[in-house]
Amino acid sequence: MVLQFDGAALLALRQTLPELGDLQPLFEQARRGLEFSGDTAVQAARLMEAIGSAHGLQRLTLFLQLLDYLKNAPAQQVKALASPCYAPTLDARSAERINKAFDYLMRELTGDVRLSVIAQQLDMSEPGFSRFFKRNTGHGFIDLMRKFRVQRACRLLLQSEMSVADICFEVGYANLSNFNRHFRIEMHQTPSEYRRETAMHLFNPIEKMTPSHF
């Protein structure tokens, strides 16, 4: 799953809710992009599922629990996606282009994603768009597509009884070989291994979680 939001807007509320200041280190790290693994990723995904079906104050409460949980994640389960020297400074036009690129990627993720299409939509050459996207996000457009597809596959592996082959095609791959190879690159194990090993951690329903878990 992918989580994007405006951390600065939350931190702006610190005068009213000073406790929000505790999240600043997380937001500073998140500027480089963060990837969570292990139990952190499993529990965070379950919280995000709960957020999606919640409403009103309950939704806000779950969102804050999620941020607190990620803030306290073990260091070995947190990986920065960009180098320490990466420091994006987006002007309004660049931010709009990045948002359009993300919108296209998420909209077409399970279909035929083409770098040439989004480059044309943004009135840029393919090499120019590739450099622009890497400079402003910390990773390549195609690499990010792979990460998002594998994340979606992880979700289906845990939440459905679909076969690995069916999930492969569902998330946008044309053949099982490429899917397995990309899954290993991202998760360091096969889809079947991920389903079997991660499922063992999923034994407490989200409804029974208390703030002490986070």
The answer to whether residues 66 and 47 touch, using CB atoms and an 8 Å cutoff, is: yes
Residue, of 115 and 11, whose pLDDT is higher? 115
Residue 121 confidence (pLDDT): 94
Q: CA–CA separation, 206 vs 195, rounded Å?
A: 19
Residue % of the chain over a pLDDT of 70: 81
Q: Which residue has the higher pLDDT, 15 or 112?
A: 112
Q: How confident is the model at residue 50 (pLDDT cuts 50, 70, 90)?
A: confident
Tokens 């036009």 locate to 93
What is the per-residue pLDDT for 66? 86
CATH number of 92-199: 1.10.10.60
Q: Average pLDDT of the chain?
A: 81
Parse the chain into domains and list their residue ranges: 7-84, 92-199
| pLDDT at residue 206 in the model | 43
| Predicted local distance difference test score (pLDDT) of residue 213 | 41
The residue that leads in pLDDT, 74 or 25, is 74
Q: Is the pLDDT of residue 205 over 50?
A: no
When pLDDT is averaged across residues 9-25 and rounded to a whole number, the result is 71
Q: Higher-confidence residue: 76 or 86?
A: 76
For residue 118, name the pLDDT band (cuts at 50, 70, 90).
very high
Cβ-in-10-Å burial (0-12, 13-18, 19+) of 118 comes to: buried
Task: Tell me the mean pLDDT in the region 4-23.
Answer: 67
pLDDT number for residue 86: 56
